[in-house]
């Protein structure tokens, strides 16, 4: 994953923690909703001024937007279990099929 993608994921993570929609964030910082969408998937890279506005809107320090978890240190098992537990039976089965397909 490149820096733009990691930054986008971090912004999305903080936005969701605040229970804020992309539209709400875009209104607060004065940018188009489509820009936020592209930012979160790593297609846009904001200016430092925009990063400051995003950090302020999300109530985080600017440097926190660049603190990425090392993929080797991430406990995917625990996270997958949390996700699995929140899914409907039908979606649990879909997740099972995907996991089984990856395993085989």
pLDDT at 48: 93
Residue 84 neighbours by CB under 8 Å, 6+ apart: 92, 95
Residue 103 neighbours by CB under 8 Å, 6+ apart: none
pLDDT exceeds cutoff 80 at 74 = no
Query: What total number of domains does the chain contain?
Result: 2
Asked whether residue 59 falls in the same domain as residue 77, the answer is no
Residue 64 neighbours by CB under 8 Å, 6+ apart: 10, 14, 55
Asked whether residue 62 falls in the same domain as residue 39, the answer is yes
- Per DSSP, helices labelled H in 18-47 are 22-29, 33-40
pLDDT at 8: 93
pLDDT at 77: 83
Q: What is the DSSP letter of 44?
A: -
Structural domain of 29 = 3-66
pLDDT at 69: 65
Give burial (CB, 10 Å; 0-12/13-18/19+) of 39. Answer: buried
Asked whether residue 59 falls in the same domain as residue 19, the answer is yes
Average pLDDT over residues 19-43: 94
- Who has greater pLDDT, 68 or 39? 39
What mean pLDDT is reported for the chain? 89
């Amino acid at each position: 994953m490149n820096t733009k993608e990691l930054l986008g994921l971090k912004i999305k993570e903080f936005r969701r923690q605040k229970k804020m929609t992309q539209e709400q964030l875009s209104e607060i910082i004065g940018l188009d909703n489509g820009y936020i969408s592209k930012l979160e998937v790593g297609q846009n890279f904001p200016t430092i001024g925009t990063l400051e506005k995003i950090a302020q809107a999300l109530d985080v320090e600017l440097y926190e937007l660049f603190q990425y978890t090392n993929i080797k240190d991430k406990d995917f098992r625990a996270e997958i279990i949390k996700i699995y537990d929140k899914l409907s039976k039908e979606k649990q089965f879909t997740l099972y099929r995907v996991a089984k397909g990856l395993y085989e």
